Amino acid sequence: MLALDIEITPFSNPARRFKTKGIWDTGATGSVITQEVADVLGIKPIGKANVNTVGISDFTTDRYMVDIFLKADVRVQGAEVTVGKIASDMGFHCLIGMDIITLGDFSITNFEGNTCLSFRLPSRHQIDYVLQMNRELDIVKQHFNSGKNVNTPCSCGSGKKFKNCHGRDWETGGVPKIVLRNYRKLRCIEDFRGAQSRGN
């Protein structure tokens, strides 16, 4: 579960604030608050909405208009939310759905085992990790196909040695080191299982 500290206020009235944790849910079409948020902020419904959840299909609930501060300087103004059940006993009173996520650039990384959720508003440019990896792979292939080694300058033109630049994350065959490590682990498991089945 990915969650961040957020603040919810009545629409265009930041004086009253409800501090909580917001769950980022790419599987949710719309954003949701608990009834407790609506009660504490003293906001009135702007209408009704038919919603579907994992456990309940097509039920009617109240709609509210709020401002959501994802950070002190990132404000989603006039967000239309519905009321629903969230894990409020665990401190979660807001579910941030795709209606808000698609307003900006949303990214999740897990570099060196540290999960990082990033969001910026408004969207500034497309982030395509697959395209980026393919471009890096092209540089790696170009480097080795030209007969260079890891101690020669990188083919990208940075002036750094290949091993300290694009070669940092790649094996000689153009395979990402993390993929190769996982492949080697898998091969060890398969070899062990094969030896077990042969009775070795």
| 174 torsion bin: left (phi>0), alpha (psi -120 to 50), beta (else) | left
Instruction: Name residue 124's amino acid.
Output: R
Q: What is the mean pLDDT of residues 75-98?
A: 92
Q: Which residue has the higher pLDDT, 14 or 94?
A: 94
Rounded CA-CA distance 131/114 in Å is 23
CB 5 within 8 A of CB 70: no
Question: Does position 47 have pLDDT exceeding 90, yes or no?
Answer: yes
Whether the per-residue pLDDT at 94 is higher than 90: the answer is: yes
Least confident of 7-21, 34-48, 55-69, 92-106: 55-69
Q: How far apart are CA 29 and CA 32, in angstroms?
A: 10
- In this prediction, residue 118 carries a pLDDT of 87
Rounded to an integer, what distance in angstroms lies between the CA atom of residue 133 and that of residue 111? Answer: 15
pLDDT reading at 70 higher than 60: yes
Q: What is the distance between the alpha carbons of residues 21 and 141, in angstroms, rounded to a whole number?
A: 45
What percent of the chain stands above pLDDT 90?
Answer: 39
User: Could you read off the pLDDT of 145-193 as tens digits, one per residue?
Assistant: 888 888 899 888 899 998 888 877 766 555 566 555 554 555 554 554 5
Q: Which has the higher per-residue pLDDT, 195 or 92? A: 92
When pLDDT is averaged across residues 45-56 and rounded to a whole number, the result is 84
pLDDT at 52: 78
84: left (phi over 0), alpha (psi -120 to 50) or beta: beta
Closest of 117, 132, 121 to residue 99, by C-alpha: 121
Q: Strands, DSSP E only, in the chain?
A: 3-10, 18-24, 32-33, 47-51, 59-71, 74-83, 92-96, 105-109, 116-120
**Mean pLDDT value across the chain:** 84
Residues in the chain: 200
Q: What percent of the chain has pLDDT over 70?
A: 84
Average pLDDT over residues 103-120: 88
